[in-house]
Amino acid sequence: MRVPVISPSEIQSRLEHILPLVRKPGRYTGGELNQVVKDWAKIKTRVALVFPDIYDLGMSNLGLAILYDLINHREDILAERVYSPWLDMEASLRSSGTPLYSLESKHPLVDFDIIGFSLPYETLYTNTLNVLDLGGVPVLSAERNTGHPLVIAGGHAAYNPEPMHAFIDAFVIGEGEEVIQEIIGVYQTWKSSGKDRKDLLRSLAGIWGVYIPSLYEAQYHPDGTFSHMEKLDEAAQLPVVKRIVARLPPPVTHLIVPYIDTVHNRIPIEIMRGCTRGCRFCHAGMITRPVRERPVQEVVEAIEQALEKTGFEEVGLLSLSSSDYTNILELVNAVSQRFKGKHLSISLPSLRIESFSVDLMDALVDTRRGGFTLAPEAATERMREIINKPVSTAQLLETARAIFSRGWSTIKLYFMIGHPSETLEDVQAIIDLCKAVLAEGRKLIGNRAQVNAGVSTFVPKPHTPFQWVPCDTVDQIRAKQGLLKRQLRGAGLKLTWNNPEDTLLEAWLSRGDRRMAEVIYQAWKHGAKFDAWNEQFSYELWIQAFQIAGLDPTFYTHRERPIDETFPWEHISTSVRKKFLTEDYLWSLRGKTRVDCRERCFACGILPTFADMRRANPGEVWQCPEVKNKRIPVHEILSGENLPVLQS
């Protein structure tokens, strides 16, 4: 979209005509409690933080809330928010020639110095292109010149940046709290130097955790598989090692309070980052290591401050596995005591399947007794060993009994179909297990007992032990879902599932290479957007895009990769070594499990890479063992040589 030069006041005046005609105009106005508006004339660097889906979803994105707070604390820079407009608003913007703008100041996106996208999942890719286009920014990185904004992106999906390499100037691999300041610093120096855009990109490449795709070229074997990544410039790092913070900075408490309902109207407090459980399907669990915790007192104080500043009535104590937080009982007791009688609902998601989890939820005052969620992920013990989530069926039923007997009437059970080596017997076991849990509930609370089964389909993710495995075909998924739909029905039972085609899109994009960028571009050109929304996603359109790009979609999804295949994301290092992932995959084929790595360190690669950081942060801040000896160069770590000695 070509945008004319247009002032914020002109945009504001056009909105007065546009907003009465669109649904939920509160998505597009800004002006909420705690938003930060600065005087553009006094600011050196302006950053647009973009969540490429609607406001209702984007306002709950914790990563952007953290960056918004951090950036706006500095006097010389500002951060403003941009979200995807829904279809009706997009039509109005396009028909009136109005560019997409920031909520705070109504400046067009193209006016910003830096545009930062949050990409937590792959189905936001076409929306990313659409936001750039609506904002008047060239969609292709190669078409941007020195006067255009720098387009950066981070988030979990950025750990395989290759499908989006053509659209993003710089990817942040890993945690953004510190690196964003360095990126802005480099940008400011470059801006005052008057040098060209290539010079900016080369300087950014020197920052730990920043990946500049245009400084590399992908090479392929004649059979189409990936060969290696070649550096085109000496400034390019190879590999690009992820960024982490040694200690989690204090939680954000100055949160923006929306006027309209959003998906989570609550205070999000991250109590812990990382996970030591080692579930083999779990992308987040592998890429966010090591585990770092926040002190109990800091969490309690943050809740107190956030309540004062926002008036929210719910707090989410967030992590990948909340019951693994070292002082979880102390935390729950402290929160319960401190906020007793304040009608504050506390959610504690991601609890392990054990009676202790029920004790924890029970201890939380004012907690709603709607549904209690457990995620066994698979229904047979064999399958749970393959995915490394070993919990016995007896333990699961015992936990279910504890839940029903403590006053909850509904248990939500989350499963995945499509795990490696799964058969229809394993799917039948999901049905049997749900019915067994319901039967336990009926014994205790009669017909009030309810079991809601959420069954999604497994998508193999890069950087995990399952990165080699094929994804189920549409026919396989339909056969498994058919069985579930036929038998998981009746009083007290409810089933939800994903469309098989949605799963395939995620699978194509997750393990895509650079050639996938053309597919994304063609899909968007032909109308794809809001692919994460069932009613908007068009499978046919994506198949057509694959045809235009001359690529076979099954190459990315249904092919079992040989154990020695080089992956298109290997130049991005999570610091969990491929050797560890390979061994874990081979263990899974034998049904061999690993214990929680806090009990026994498996030398996954995290500690050698971040040995200096660990040494500088002794004690229980990290859940990895302490390190005795000296730092080892990254190239030795990645080859598995000279690993340091760990204290037992």
Give the interface with ligand SF4 as residue ranges (CB under 6 A): 276, 289-290, 597, 601-604, 606-607, 624
| Closest to ligand SF4 by CB, 212 or 606 | 606
Q: Between 138 and 625, whose beta carbon lies closer to ligand SF4? A: 625
Is 515 in contact with 551 (CB distance < 8 Å)?
A: yes
Angle 64-70-75 from CA coordinates, rounded to 5°: 130
Distance in Å, CB of 618 to ligand SF4, minimum: 15
Q: Which is nearer to ligand SF4, 220 or 602 (CB)?
A: 602
Q: Which residues of 303-326 are buried (b: 16+ CB within 10 A; e: fewer)?
A: beebbeebebebbbbbbbbbbbbe
CB of residue 623 to ligand SF4, shortest distance in Å = 6
Nearest approach in angstroms of CB 632 to ligand SF4 is 13
Q: How far apart are the first and last CA of the chain?
A: 60
Kindly state the helix (H) or strand (E) to which residue 153 belongs, with its residue range.
Answer: strand 150-154
Closest contact distance (angstroms) between CB of 392 and ligand SF4 is: 24
Return the number of the residue (95 or 648) whose C-beta is nearest ligand SF4: 648
Residue 377 C-beta: closest distance to ligand SF4, Å: 20
Q: How far is CA 325 from CA 102, 119, 160, 229, 255, in A?
A: 38, 26, 29, 39, 24
Which residues are paired to 453 by β-bridges?
Answer: 413, 495
Nearest of 132, 278, 251 to residue 599 by alpha carbon: 278
Please say which residue, 286 or 453, places its beta carbon nearer to ligand SF4: 286
Report which of 74, 82, 43, 64 is spatially closest to residue 181, judged by C-alpha positions.
74
Integer angstrom CA distances of residue 575 from 281, 367, 630: 18, 39, 17
Q: Which is nearer to ligand SF4, 439 or 646 (CB)?
A: 646
**CB of 210: closest distance to ligand SF4 in angstroms?**
24
In whole angstroms, give the CA distance from residue 294 to residue 584: 29
Q: Side chain identity at 149, as an amino acid letter? A: P
Residue whose Cβ sits closest to ligand SF4: 597
If the CB atoms of residues 318 and 607 are measured against ligand SF4, the closer one turns out to be: 607
Query: Do 260 and 27 contact (CB within 8 A), yes or no?
Result: yes
Question: Least CB distance from residue 50 to ligand SF4, whole Å?
Answer: 32
The least CB distance from residue 153 to ligand SF4, in Å, is 26
| Comparison of 242 and 515: residue with beta carbon closer to ligand SF4 | 242
CA 328 to chain centre: 24
Nearer to ligand SF4, 149 or 278 (CB): 278
- Closest CB 561 distance from ligand SF4, rounded Å: 24
Burial class (CB in 10 A: 0-12, 13-18, 19+), 387: buried
- Which residue, 182 or 583, is less far from ligand SF4 as judged by CB? 583
Min CB(607)–ligand SF4 separation in Å: 4
Write the CB contacts of 508 (distance below 8 Å, at least 6 apart in sequence).
516, 519, 542, 553, 556, 557
Query: How far is it, in rounded angstroms, from Cα 12 to Cα 18?
Result: 10
Who's near 437: CB < 8 A, 6+ residues apart? 396, 397, 400, 411, 413, 451
